[in-house]
Each structure stands twice: as structure tokens, then as C-alpha cells.
Amino acid sequence: MNQRTFTLLIFFLLTFVGIDNLKAQQNSDKQDETIFIWGGDINTKFVQYVADLTKKENPKICYLPTASGDNPDNIKYWGNICNTLQLDTVILKVWVSSSEKNQSFEEILLNSDAIVVGGGNTLNMLGIWKAQGIDNILNKALENGIILAGGSAGSICWFQNGISDSRPVNLSIVKGLGFLPYSNCPHYSQESRKNLYHQMIKDGKMNSGYATDELAGILFKDGKAVKFISQSDINNSYFVSLKKGEIEETKLKSEILLRKNALPEGSYSSQPIKKKINDLLDLNDSSSPISAYVSEIKNLKLNKEDISDSKKDEALNIRIAKVFIYDNKIAGVVNNAYINSFGYGMWYFYNCNGTWTSMGEDIGGKTVFESEIKFRERAETIMKLAEKKLNCH
């Protein structure tokens, strides 16, 4: 090999190495494209999760109520959530004139850490966004690493298309922005939406995609689903596809979303009871949460002189499903007193010098598991309230 050939060879090797190093550096500098979708209306836990995704102590979150026509009630609801979580927020309204805005849509959106899209009419929202150029700004926000999120209409908008009630009379397919290469169906627990979604995929009018129940969500990173979230055991996420001409629905294992002050697993005990009040009438003191609960039912319902036979039977047939106890100080008794109305009830008690004292009743959840989540999230608050209210030593 002569000197000239050797020099050229070294030149090309260094050139290729330089290009590879440059590509590696560009890839390392690239921001994650993050989208978090929710099956129903946004709530406090959803917003907290979005705030946590930013990994910032005081994130600025922009709310887009376009789908509801910048509805004042929706904006007030959003403000209440942000006040509760002590989050800095800005509202991007589209129903304004130039004289009412000091910043452009682009300035507002691209200076946010996360962007949350509310529910409403998906079709109208997307039409307005495209007319105002907001769709392109959102794409730029995604590429810049700004978190995109939303529920219902705020879920469909990120996909190729989704099942929506945006048009009169019937549910239909609405085309989205296509940031995620799948189809989407929020409110999946509604049979009408689920059935249409299945049919559209089966007919080839929609690609495979993701569906979410009201209180379930999916986290996407760079276009791929990486985590599935739920607030209960009856709200789930699904991947729906076509296999050999038939719909295949795969339920995806979810991580339960809890408030930050919730009791960690293993820090409390639980005891299944599965007995009716009628089976526990011999309990006459308040030395345990169960006996204290039975005493409450006796005093408030069974010992009344004017109680009707039907009301008495109703009280006697109240079933205690489970009892949760934390630190031998606070207890939650899960019962089915309201199962036909809104689910299980939860009666709280505080151990005051060996006597379990009532702290009142509350809604538990639609299932015992949902009730357990409620207990984990409220135990510390109830205990602080009891310590302040009761003079226990």
C-alpha cells in the first residue's frame, strides 16, 4: 500500500467515525416524545400524574378547553384541581380576539412544561386547531419534549382516528392529528362505543389501536405504549386488533394510581369479614372496629322505636365486607349499605384510649378494592382530624 492510498484510507475512516459520533450525539440530544391519554374526564389524580411526568418541582401546565368551546365551568373545574395541587397553570382560550391576547398561541404552548386537552367535541376542536395553526404548534411542542396529555376528546386527538360523539345522532370515526400511529376509543366501558370500535376495525376502516375505560390511561414514549395506569380494578386499558378476521381484545396490566399521601402497601392490615349485621348482634361494645360499627347501626337504625319492618330488615342485612386498620389507630369498615346506590360504604373509626370512636361514614367505591384505595388515601387525613377533635391520651 503506497502513502497516498494509506492517507485516503485514514481520511475515510476518520470521516465515518466523525459521522457516527455526530449521529450518536444528535440521538442523545433528542427529547423524548411523551403523550399520556385518559379514557374519561380529567381529574385530580390524572393532573398530578401529568405534573409528575415533567420531573419539575413547579411545572407550568397549559390547559386547552377548546373541545368544550372554552366552557367557563370546565375552566373553573381545572382551576380548582390546580389550586388543590398547587400547580402553576395557564389557560389557552381560542374564542378571543387579538385585542384580548398579549401572547401568541405558539408563545403560550411552547413555554409550557405540559399541555392538557379537555373533553368535548373532538371534530370541532380539531377544525379550530387547524384553522389557527395550533395543530402544527402541538407537533413542535411534542418534538421539544413538552408533555402532551388529555382525556376523552383530549385522547382521540393524538391518534390517527378514534370513536367520537362529535356528530349528531350517531357515534362515528373522527380523524386525529396522527401523532400516535394507532386508532383510539375512550369511554370503552360504554357498549355502544366498544361495539362500533370493534366493527370499524373488523371492516378495515380503522387500524388496530388502544381503548381505555373512564378511569384508565396509557403513557406513550416515542410512539410506543410503555405504561398502563388505572384508578381502580374495574377500569382498564386494552389493545384491540384483528386476528384471522376476528377481533382480539387484550387487557393490559395496569399500575394503580394513588394520591401522594396514600398509605404504602404493607403499612396497614386488612381482615375479610363477610358477615351481616344480623350475625353480629351479640357485639355490644366498641372494643374493636367491627363491634363499634355494629353499635353505630344499632343506635342509628335498629333501636329506633319508629323503624319500619322493611328498614329493620334492610339494616340487619347490611354486610360487612372487610375491615382495614392502620397503626391500630384508624380503621375503615367496608360495608354494602349503599351497594344499590353508588357502591360500598366506608365507616371510619379512631382508637381513642382503647375505644373505637366513630369518625363518620363516607363513600367507599364500586368495589371492595376501590374502597381499599379510598382508605389508603384518606387514612392519614382522618387520623389527623381525629387527633385534633378527640382528647385522647
pLDDT tens for each residue of 135-145? 999 999 999 99
Q: What's the whole-model pTM score?
A: 0.86
Do 57 and 196 belong together in one domain? yes
pLDDT reading at 7 higher than 70: no
pLDDT reading at 364 higher than 90: yes
The pLDDT, as a whole number, for residue 143 is: 97
When the pLDDT of each residue in the chain is averaged and rounded to a whole number, the result is 92
Last residue of a domain, one of 206, 222, 256: 256
Do 63 and 194 belong together in one domain? yes
Do 73 and 114 belong together in one domain? yes
Q: How far apart are CA 183 and CA 164, in angstroms?
A: 12
What residues contact 176, with CB distance under 8 A and at least 6 apart? 122, 126, 156, 157, 158, 159, 160, 161, 162, 184
The pLDDT, as a whole number, for residue 306 is: 82
The pLDDT, as a whole number, for residue 24 is: 46
Is residue 183 within 8 Å of residue 209, measured between CB atoms?
yes
Last residue of a domain, one of 233, 256, 279: 256
Do 331 and 282 belong together in one domain? yes
Cβ neighbours around 328 below 10 Å, total? 8
> Does a structural domain hold residue 71?
yes
Which of these is catalytic: 68, 112, 152, 164? 152
Burial profile 248-270: b = 16 or more Cβ within 10 angstroms, e = fewer: eeeebebeebbeeebbeeeebee
> Does a structural domain hold residue 14?
no
In the predicted model, what is the mean pLDDT of residues 53-77?
Answer: 97
Do 73 and 180 belong together in one domain? yes
The pLDDT, as a whole number, for residue 184 is: 98
In the predicted model, what is the mean pLDDT of residues 72-83?
Answer: 97
The pLDDT, as a whole number, for residue 4 is: 57
> Does a structural domain hold residue 6?
no
Cβ neighbours around 325 below 10 Å, total? 21
What residues contact 305, with CB distance under 8 A and at least 6 apart? none
Number of domains observed in the structure of the chain: 2
Strand order in the sheet with 180-185: 172-175, 159-164, 180-185, 209-212, 237-243, 246-252
pLDDT in tens, 304-362: 878 888 999 999 999 999 999 999 999 999 999 887 778 999 999 999 999 999 999 99
* Residue 152 bears catalytic tag: yes
* Residue 187 bears catalytic tag: yes
Do 186 and 53 belong together in one domain? yes
Could you tell me which residue, 22 or 386, shows the higher pLDDT? 386
State the residue range of the domain holding 34: 30-256
The pLDDT, as a whole number, for residue 14 is: 46
> Does a structural domain hold residue 306?
yes
In the predicted model, what is the mean pLDDT of residues 235-245?
Answer: 96
Do 252 and 132 belong together in one domain? yes
Last residue of a domain, one of 228, 256, 284: 256
Do 252 and 278 belong together in one domain? no
Is residue 377 within 8 Å of residue 257, measured between CB atoms?
no
pLDDT reading at 17 higher than 70: no
The pLDDT, as a whole number, for residue 64 is: 98
Do 127 and 36 belong together in one domain? yes
In the predicted model, what is the mean pLDDT of residues 18-38?
Answer: 68
CATH number of the structural domain spanning residue 61: 3.40.50.880
The pLDDT, as a whole number, for residue 23 is: 47
Do 129 and 231 belong together in one domain? yes
Burial profile 101-128: b = 16 or more Cβ within 10 angstroms, e = fewer: eeeebeebbbebbbbbbbbbbbbbbbeb
Is residue 145 within 8 Å of residue 109, measured between CB atoms?
no
Do 382 and 299 belong together in one domain? yes
Q: How far apart are CA 220 and CA 40, in angstroms?
A: 17
The pLDDT, as a whole number, for residue 102 is: 80
The pLDDT, as a whole number, for residue 3 is: 58
> Does a structural domain hold residue 323?
yes
Strand partners, 347: 333, 361
Strand partners, 147: 114
The pLDDT, as a whole number, for residue 361 is: 94
Do 68 and 217 belong together in one domain? yes
Sign of CA dihedral 197, 200, 205, 207: positive
Which of these is catalytic: 68, 187, 198, 371? 187
Could you tell me which residue, 296 or 97, shows the higher pLDDT? 296
> Does a structural domain hold residue 211?
yes
> Does a structural domain hold residue 13?
no
> Does a structural domain hold residue 264?
no
What residues contact 113, with CB distance under 8 A and at least 6 apart? 54, 56, 59, 60, 61, 146, 147
